[in-house]
Amino acid sequence: MIIAIGADHGGFELKKQIISHLESKGVKVLDMGAYDAQSVDYPDYAPPVCRAVLSGEADYGILICGTGIGISISANKIEGVRCALLGDTFSAKMAREHNDANVMALGARVLGVGLALEIVDTFIGTDFSHDDRHSRRIQKMMDLEKR
């Protein structure tokens, strides 16, 4: 599995911890920055991660900012992206099973590291259900991009 990850300064420290956690499990990680804790603008970090997912270079994307809000909104502006802002493991499971989310966002100033890592593990470890009703709803969601 290959994961693309990106963060602003608010998510920089958590990004490092997620990368070492994933690499310790043998997951390949594409680190799209930020590479230090200098103040940056979160909308700049969503596109490289989303592009990696949409091109198939990465299986999933992880985005982190202080709250996860700004970077998730930014990601969801990109056609083809279904980014879920996650704060619990149940939602992480549902985001994959029901919504087939391809990118997840975390708030580094909201979550403890332990919970954040469990959310990551749950998200990347859960497959889409492929139930007809969920496929239909996802198609309707994606059709909203054309309006």
State the catalytic residues. 65, 98
Provide the CA 145 distance to its chain's centre, in angstroms. 19
Nearer to ligand RB5, 39 or 55 (CB): 39
Nearer to ligand RB5, 109 or 136 (CB): 109
Q: How many residues bind ligand RB5 (CB under 6 A)?
A: 8
Q: Which of residues 47-86 bind ligand RB5 (CB under 6 A)?
A: 65-67, 69-70
Nearer to ligand RB5, 27 or 75 (CB): 75
Q: Which of residues 85-144 bind ligand RB5 (CB under 6 A)?
A: none
Least Å distance between CB 43 and ligand RB5?
Answer: 9
**Cβ–Cβ under 8 Å, residues 34 and 60:** no
Q: Which of 3, 4, 5, 8 binds ligand RB5 (CB under 6 A)?
A: 8
> Nearest 10 degrees: CA dihedral of 107, 113, 114, 120?
50
Of 125, 116, 69, residue with least CA distance to 93: 125
| d(C-alpha 70, C-alpha 54), whole Å | 20
Q: Taking CB under 6 A as the rule, does residue 42 contact ligand RB5?
A: yes
Q: Specify the DSSP class assigned to residue 95.
A: H
Q: Specify the DSSP class assigned to residue 11.
A: G
Binding residues (CB under 6 A) for ligand RB5: these are 8, 10, 42, 65-67, 69-70
